[in-house]
Amino acid sequence: MGIDSNLNLARLKAWEGWGKLRRLLLCTFYPEYVAGALSARSGECTRCGRCCRLLFKCPFLRNGNQCRIYGKRIKNCSRFPIDSRDTAHIGCNYAFPVEAKADEGMKIPVTRYAYREILILSGGAILGLAGSAVMFSYLPPAIASAAAAFFLLSMGFAFYFFRDPERSIPDEVNVILAPADGKVVSIEEVEEPEFIGGKALRIGIFLSIFNVHINRVPCSGVVKFIKYREGRFMNALSPKSSIHNESNMVGIAGTGSSPSKVVVKQIAGAIAKRIVCELKIDDHVENGQKFGMIKFGSRTEVYVPVEEGFEAAVTLKGRVKAGETILMRRKAS
């Protein structure tokens, strides 16, 4: 076997291993991409077996080659999410249009705001797993296995907590979008003297550790006010947390159909110890745009002047999604 053949074999083996993980991530986090890849194919499968080998013992399969995603037995590569990256490595007869190749990149489904935390937690988990493997010789298997499971779950939780899913931003006008995922815990009129300078409709959202923690801009406009305040770390479910806890206020001068003034307030909770906000004064922002996060449980509030004529489009204890759920809507005149 020549050098070129050895290189091709090594490349195929490497792609087999990475392909299994990549397909799992694609089907889990990007089903719309998988559907697009399926519909974009041209050509016929020759049933060479190369692409099916990529899925041998893959998490997609059960009972030999029964696909959990499509529910049918796989006999060729028309039944699972092969795309243009695979064809370059396994010589599949499928072809993809130029547009599909240009937009084939799979984004890492975690937020860029937390690469450091993920690296630290994952590194610690890997070291813990290595230590657990060593301790199998000195501890009862049950204890060593429990320790290994704990470190593995810790690493999984780091990726789960800092996940960053795609969102479909509504194009409706005269609305305010939710700036955070979570549960609506307050809808009330309050005084907001720092940016709005008068009565405002406030809606508060509580984020548990199981929610996506990315914050998104509720409406289009220009950032005119930012104020960070040190404070306590009370339970974010308490209304007092809005007053006493560490927080960051962002004031936006709305454009178009947006209110003239909108405040987004990031509030740390009992566990949260860091607020991230990448906005600066005079930044132009669009509704649904990501601008930061609060790490490990928190509260996010939106304030809109009462005189602007907006009303709540959600109810107490209702669930909302950042950049996707309409939080307020302008009253019909």
Q: What is the pLDDT of residue 283?
A: 92
298 is catalytic: yes
Residue 42 domain flag: yes
Note whether 180 and 74 are same-domain residues. no
pLDDT recorded at residue 28: 66
Answer whether residue 168 is part of any domain.
no
The tokens describing 190, both together, are 């309050």
117 and 63 inside one domain: no
User: Do 229 and 315 reside in the same domain of the chain?
Assistant: yes
Task: Report the distance separating Cα 128 and Cα 274, nearest Å.
Answer: 26
**Does a structural domain hold residue 167?**
no
Is the same domain home to 82 and 117?
no
**184 shares a domain with 50:** no
Q: What is the pLDDT of residues 95-114, one digit of tens each?
A: 776 544 434 444 557 777 77
pLDDT at 106: 46
CATH number for the domain harbouring residue 187: 2.70.70
Domain check: are 65 and 129 in the same one? no
How much is the pLDDT for 154?
75
Q: Which residue pairs, CB below 8 angstroms and at least 24 apart, start in 248-251?
A: 248/275, 248/277, 248/292, 249/194, 249/195, 249/225, 250/223, 250/225, 250/226, 250/277, 250/279, 250/291, 251/194, 251/195, 251/196, 251/223, 251/224, 251/225, 251/226
Which residue in the block uniquely carries the two structure tokens 């053949």? Answer: 5
- pLDDT the model gives residue 180: 94
Q: Are residues 201 and 293 in the same domain?
A: yes
- pTM tops 0.85: no
Q: Give pLDDT tens digits for 289-329.
A: 999 988 776 889 999 999 999 999 999 999 999 999 999 99
Does some domain include residue 170? no
Number of domains forming the structure of the chain: 3
Residues 211 and 308 in one domain: yes
What are the residue ranges of helices labelled H in 55-136?
A: 84-90, 98-102, 115-135
pLDDT given for residue 184 in this prediction: 95
Task: Give the position of tokens 């947390």.
Answer: 241
Same-domain status, 236 and 288: yes
- pLDDT of 155: 75
pLDDT value at position 272? 61
Domain contains 49: yes
Give the pLDDT score at 4: 47
Give the chain's residues under pLDDT 70.
1-32, 45-81, 84-92, 97-108, 132-137, 139, 144, 235-236, 271-273, 297, 333
Q: Same structural domain for residues 141 and 226?
A: no
> What residues contact residue 65 under an 8 Å CB cut-off, 6+ apart?
52, 55, 73, 74
Catalytic pick among 84, 132, 220, 298 = 298
Same domain (yes/no): 185, 299? yes
| 295 and 187 assigned to the same domain | yes
Q: Residue 309 has what pLDDT?
A: 92
> Domain residues for 185?
175-330
Q: What is the pLDDT of residue 210?
A: 85
